[in-house]
A and B are shown apart, each in its own frame.
Chain A
Amino acid sequence: MLTYLDHAATTPMRPEAIEAMMPYLDGVYANPSGSHRFARQARQAIDEARDTVAEALGCKAGEVIFTSGGTEGDNSAVLGAVRKRGGVAVCSAAEHHAVLHCVEHLHGRVVHVNTLGSIDLDSLSTTLAAANNEDPIAVVSVMAVNNEVGTITPLTEVAKVVRKLAPNALLHTDAVQAACWFDLREVSKLVDVMTLSAHKFGGPKGMGIMMTHLGHELEPLILGGGQERDRRSGTHNVAGIIASATALRITDVTRQAEVERISKLRDRLVDDVCAAIPNVLETVPRENRVAGIAHLCIKGCESEAILYLLDEADVCASAASACASGAMEPSHVLQAMGVDKEWSMGALRFSLGHTTTDLDIDRAIEALSESVHKLRR
């Protein structure tokens, strides 16, 4: 039996989402942009899905754009803002590469993070205050929750700084890792643009949702048939959209109970691991972290070796992000947080989700204890 603790990489699809999408794979196959009754049937399903999403995000239906995923959303926000408005892109050093690489590509500014991995507000203020009329800030992109270590960004504070010092800049948040843990209505009201990825909350891969408040238009990344009000061309992924909306609705209504349930599992996992294995660092304190992520640094072990032994014991976990070859890359997040190399080389992320059970936690604790024992011999 597989112990799956890599939900931050992808979480299993919600059965309700699979059920909801099936009729649009083998029945209502029409292109929703068509002009016949069959097309209108597909169109209606998308419109309803958009309403469902808008409800869960606390925004207007016209502010919801369906995309191909989190990376497209992040790229659209950063590149789209700069192309539309000119000026400089700003982000934190611990952003996902989907944001970070765009900002670097545009020669934008990367702001320090503190030891928690959250953007340093003083550095952000300095960066924004230093901008002038010739080089105005076009967009500030700050993730709601860090994908590696699970740190929660105090977005209210970030928004205050941005609104005060760069009132004309767009504020974007990559909320990909927030969907399961936060009421997105609270997030969406703080920002202008928000990015989600469906497979992180029980929807299918290859589907994303972007919320762009009206009046904060971006230059579209993909041109073509003018779908999504000219904001994102390409034939609609009808089944994917239906499944994503369904998954988001279920995530929204079960969130409170799930956060409570999963926090307890996560705390037990970390407590028991720290009790069983000496020299383990809980990378970020619990009060600064979402319920689903247990990020640990294990001294005297290497991530690749730990992951191999866990895999052998049928436990799926992860470390940092992988490069194109599939090799583990040293974590830019831990580096930005200033974690010592002797700790960061043994980084390990267990991420929990809607299918995680007590048994998974038991097995992970046992497998990790055995693996570390082997590696430290």
Chain B
Amino acid sequence: MKVLVAMSGGVDSSVAAAELKASGHEVVGVTMRLWGGESDTGCCSVSDVDDARRVAQQLGIDHLVFNFSEDFNTHVVNPYIDAHVAGFTPNPCIECNRHLKFDRLSERARLLGFDAIATGHHARIERDDNSTLRIARAHDEAKDQSYVVHMLDQVELGYTMFPVGHLTKTQVRQRAEELGLRTAAKPDSQDVCFISRTGGREAFLGKRIPFRSAQVVHEDGTLVGEIDALELVTVGQRKGLGLPGGGPKQYVVDVDTPNARVIIGDESRLMCAGFAVNNVAWSDLGDSSRLSKFNDVMVQSSAHGQASPATIEFVGESNDSVRVNWLSSQRRIAPGQSVVFYDATNRYVIGGGIAAN
């Protein structure tokens, strides 16, 4: 097959390209230029492009650079800013996967005559007894990234390959070392590429939106303080609220954006029995009609968090809004976070969406 592999300049995508080449595919590497502004996080930078290009040269494959920075601004950066204004805590890396890697890039790849695209994500694609494609958790459970690629539907799954999903991270690094790839010992990228390590989210948003000051109010209505930037507050947050010490730990249990109020309470008040999820994408459109089969689901609400058992019920007519009911109550999920549903074995992705307010 002719495969276009997205090479970020990291070790996983380097080895993904190497694996594909070794299995006899015709491989072309591509690095997407996404963020045009300042960056110090070591993601999407010119030096990463250098690494990707050098690895491609070492593997003897062509390397391209596609400039998708405008799409990145439209689909990732601007919504990230808007979400903070609206009181949400977005996950930009997931939106980048949804709109850039598995939409813009795969669309370009199809136009250019490629049979598939590949990335270095730690996840697997398996075909079940009904010939339905499923995203399975990675062989290396600690590095599993099925959460961040949960939005892929049957069409995209049929066009996508994850060549390192069956390897552990240690094995990936070993392969890279055996091949003498310069990315073999490169640390994993942890951060959002357009948020600098030095300034963080505050500096990034501060340059782009005016922060609103807000009152910090206890659940019982007592005013306990004031903060400068409502937009930086997340449900579940404990630090940075300027609260006096002593007494039971206090958490943000709600952000009242219209009234510029942050509601705090003790940990027990953070617990909830369920919550609504919107913008749900299903791995298989048949899932919504076959949902009874998945009624016992495992729900994960952060990239490296544990999944917990729950049931799902549909809200309204459409199949893209659901309510998650935990079997035992869990901490509240910050609105805007991605929520991913796995089957009862906690192995296969069924779908996922965005936690509602």
Give residues in A with beta carbon < 8 Å to B: 302, 304-305, 308-309, 322-330, 374-375
Contacts and interface: CB of A to CB of B under 8 A. Distances in A.
Interface stretch (B61-69, B146-154, B248-256): B61-69
Contacts of A302: 108
B111 A374 contact: yes
Interface string B59-92: 0000011110110000000000000000000000
Contacts of A325: 31, 33, 46, 49, 65
B34 to A, nearest CB: 10
Contact of B112 (A308, A322, A323, A324): A308
Contacts, number: 36
Nearest to B63: A326
Contact of B46 (A304, A324, A329): A324
A328 B36 CA distance: 12
Contact of A326 (B53, B70, B108): B53
Contacts of A322: 65
Given A323-B33, A324-B46, A329 B111 contact: no
B108 A305 contact: yes
Interface string B92-111: 00000000000000001001
A330 to B, nearest CB: 8
How extensive is the interface on chain B, given as a class? 10 to 19
A328 B67 contact: yes
A326 B112 contact: no
Query: Which of A304, A305, A328, A375 lies at the interface centre, i.e. has the most chain B CB atoms within 10 A of its CB?
Result: A304
B187 interface: no
Contacts of B111: 305, 374-375
Given A325-B46, A375-B111, A308 B31 contact: no
B65 A326 contact: yes
Contacts of B112: 305, 308-309
Contacts of A324: 46
Interface of B: 31, 33, 46, 49, 53, 64-67, 69-70, 108, 111-113
Contacts of B66: 304, 327
Given A308-B112, A375-B111, A329 B67 contact: yes
Ordered nearest first, which 8 A-B pairs have the shortest CB separation? Answer: A327-B67, A327-B33, A325-B49, A326-B65, A327-B65, A324-B46, A325-B46, A325-B33
A371 to B, nearest CB: 10
A308 B49 CA distance: 18
A250 to B, nearest CB: 35
Query: Which of B46, B69, B108, B112 lies at the interface centre, i.e. has the most chain A CB atoms within 10 A of its CB?
Result: B112
A322 to B, nearest CB: 8
A323 B50 CA distance: 13
A109 B70 CA distance: 27
Nearest to B64: A308
Contacts of A304: 64, 66-67, 108
Contacts of A329: 67
Contact of B49 (A305, A326, A330, A374): A326
A316 B113 CA distance: 19
Contacts of A326: 49, 53, 65
A335 to B, nearest CB: 13
A304 to B, nearest CB: 6
Contacts of B53: 326
Contacts of A305: 108, 111-112
